[in-house]
A and B are shown apart, each in its own frame.
Chain A
Amino acid sequence: MAVVTASSGTDAPPAAAAAGRAGTLRRSVQRNLTAHGFLIGAVLCFACFQWYPMVREVIMSFQKAKAGRTTWVGLHNLDQIVHDPSFWPAWRNTAEFTGLALLFGFALPFVTAVVMNELRHARGYLRILVYLPVMLPPVSSLLLFKYLYNPEYGPIDRSLQLLHLPTSGWLQSPDMAMLAVVIASTWMNMGSATLIYLAALQNIPGELYEAAELDGAGLLRRVWHVTIPQTRLVLSLMLMLQIVATMQVFVEPFILTNGGQGVEGSTTTVVYLIYQYAFNFSNYGAACALGLLLLLVLAAFSVIYVRLNRRLES
């Protein structure tokens, strides 16, 4: 830098100025080479496993691959998936899972966090307990739930029988299968949301509760007028993240019910259908087209979320 300022002076010989500029250029190129050298490994991985697959996803949804040859088929894939009899049920099941998972998975962690925040003892123990299932390998948890739900010897139905309560066969029953999947999923995943809400609750200034109390607000009104508004940002962000995450549900129905086989596909979700197209029928075009459709739906949710959030902000 010093060279540049010196050479730009009027009495410096022009040759020295040119040499100075060339030196700066060389140093700038060198600096950039080093910087890109540090970056290149990660960029190559992104290119191979994120950016290129993204482009390919779009291209392949308009192609058919047969015997190693790909041909453009336009909207044929879309046409095919829309007319698949499993198409609408898969969306309905996904919506049902998302709805139920939000009902449990959104409300339960919040209530849990509020209760935990009130307690002055055992908080560390409770935090470990709620987060423990999050750390387990999902297949372990799901095989456990499959055993618990078993209609013949599973402890849940056995205990219900013992208490002379109606049993339901859970995963074998078309009406209960999705609820059973949601319960297992909530148990496995609610820990992280609980801890995030707990952290948000701990940042609420105590004076707000005091002021509300002085104004005569009862317990529920304090929740409604202090707790929820004060955690609104985290709540809305988590709601959005959970919608996007639950609409991609796959492992739970895959392990617990194989997509609800035998119970009329009552837990076949959209991602499960993508998996079937790609890995059971090797129909990559249809799988990608359905994936693109899911992407569009989720993108629409994100747009709505951003709009609503902006309105709430102003």
Chain B
Amino acid sequence: MSDTRTLVNPAQLNRTLYRAALILVVVAFTLAFLGPLYLLVTGGLKGTTESIQTPPTFYPHHIEASNYSDAWSRLNIAHLLLNTLWYAFGALAFQLVLDVAAAYSLSKLRPALGNAILGLMLATLMIPAMVLVVPQYLTVLDLPLIHQNLLNSPWAIWLPSVANAFNIYLLKRFFDSVPQELLDSAAIDGAGPLRTLLSIVLPMSRPIIGVVSIFALVNVWKDFLWPLLAEPDPTRQTLNAGIYSLSLGVPENVLIAASAISAVPTVIFFLIFQRSIMSGLTAGSLKG
């Protein structure tokens, strides 16, 4: 890719000019995107007097690491972190089992009314998420037919996450490309639909399963309003909602330290999986 011709003709490009532009861009990007993160980490290290003094210090002169331990215990971050992990991996498990099964059924088993059901699922993509928050919240309060209240239970996060038309669409598109002859020959060998799914379709679908898994985890991790509403008990909230709920009366530098801590897991996750996250992003959106 790097050798293809772009906007500027490489033959005409002055080398020093290119170098200067490169350095300028790298410095500007670093300042713009890492700068605020630097202030986040160091802001949490400053003591109370230092964080409000004039002129501002650009690095903490007296490192107060106690802000971080203070934030960790006052906002109960270990607990919030465990909640988030529990919700995120639970949602991932539910989405993988139910959405993969549904996409496989729609793609390969082709049930009666399958296309109508897929159409109804895809139609939900047209409806702005925020419009449905109120009736969804009331549904969680009193589940239709079985009249269960899911408030403050992990089910309130897990089950709605399954109703994700985008996942089903991505999976179905991928399953469609698995050749039918493979499935037919498996059927002749006596494999039932479940066996075929597990031993033929899934092993071939690893890339898309990876993309869907990452989206599933990131979505729960980044969501704010839904966990705030569905888990009103602060001890059951996710990091995102919990830090907000518990932030009242907490000094600013402790709060900044808490924000810095809560950003660490996602940054590590991103650095490990950045290649698949970024390719999943373009794969998912350009095919829409």
Q: Is A67 an interface residue (CB 8 A)?
A: no
Min Cβ gap B253→A in Å is 9
Q: Which of A133, A250, A287 contacts B33 (CB 8 A)?
A: A133
A155 contact set on B, CB distance < 8 A: 39, 43, 56
Interface size class of B (residues with CB under 8 A): 35 or more
10 interchain residue pairs of minimum CB distance: A206-B5, A35-B111, A42-B102, A35-B109, A38-B105, A53-B135, A45-B162, A153-B52, A41-B98, A140-B259
Q: Is B129 an interface residue (CB 8 A)?
A: yes
- Mask, B38-81, CB within 8 Å of A = 1, is 01100100000001111110000000000000000000000000
Q: Which of A34, A36, A129, A199 contacts B282 (CB 8 A)?
A: A199
Given the interface pairs A196-B281, A292-B131, the reply to whether A49 lies near B159 with Cβ below 8 Å is: yes
Q: What's the Cα separation between A284 and B7 when bound, in Å?
A: 54
Contact status A126-B135, CB under 8 Å: no
> A39, A46, A213, A284 — which one has the most chain B CB atoms within 10 A of its CB?
A39
Contact status B132-A135, CB under 8 Å: no
Min Cβ gap B278→A in Å is 6
Q: Is B200 an interface residue (CB 8 A)?
A: no
Given the interface pairs A127-B278, A234-B286, A279-B229, the reply to whether A136 lies near B135 with Cβ below 8 Å is: no
Given the interface pairs A159-B56, A196-B282, A213-B9, the reply to whether A137 lies near B139 with Cβ below 8 Å is: no
Q: Is B182 an interface residue (CB 8 A)?
A: no
Q: Interface of A with B (CB < 8 Å)? A: 31-32, 34-36, 38-39, 41-43, 45-46, 48-54, 56-57, 60, 114-123, 125-133, 135-141, 143-145, 147-148, 150, 152-153, 155, 158-159, 161-162, 187, 192, 195-196, 199-202, 204-207, 209-210, 213, 219, 222-223, 226-227, 234, 237, 244, 247-248, 250-251, 254-255, 271, 274-275, 278-279, 284, 287-288, 291-292, 294-295, 298-299, 302
Q: Is B255 an interface residue (CB 8 A)?
A: yes
Q: Is B178 an interface residue (CB 8 A)?
A: no
A-B contact pairs, 14 of them (CB 8 A): A31-B109, A42-B101, A49-B163, A52-B139, A52-B144, A53-B139, A118-B6, A119-B21, A133-B33, A135-B270, A161-B55, A201-B6, A251-B224, A295-B127
Min Cβ gap B211→A in Å is 14
Contact status A56-B244, CB under 8 Å: no
Known: A46-B162, A125-B26, A199-B286. 14 other contacts (CB 8 A): A41-B102, A48-B159, A56-B135, A132-B37, A135-B218, A140-B263, A141-B36, A148-B36, A195-B282, A209-B6, A222-B7, A237-B288, A291-B134, A294-B130
Contact status B56-A158, CB under 8 Å: yes
Q: Which of A32, A50, A209, A222 contacts B111 (CB 8 A)?
A: A32
> B10, B165, B218, B225 — which one has the most chain A CB atoms within 10 A of its CB?
B225
Q: What's the Cα separation between A239 and B79 when bound, in Å?
A: 40
Q: What's the Cα separation between A118 and B269 when bound, in Å?
A: 29
Min Cβ gap B121→A in Å is 6
Q: Is B97 an interface residue (CB 8 A)?
A: yes
Q: Which residue of chain B lies nearest to A158 when distances are taken between CB atoms in the complex? A: B56
Q: Is B188 an interface residue (CB 8 A)?
A: no
Q: Is B104 an interface residue (CB 8 A)?
A: yes
Min Cβ gap B165→A in Å is 8
Q: What's the Cα separation between A45 and B156 when bound, in Å?
A: 11
Q: Is B168 an interface residue (CB 8 A)?
A: yes
Contact status B30-A53, CB under 8 Å: no
Min Cβ gap B59→A in Å is 12
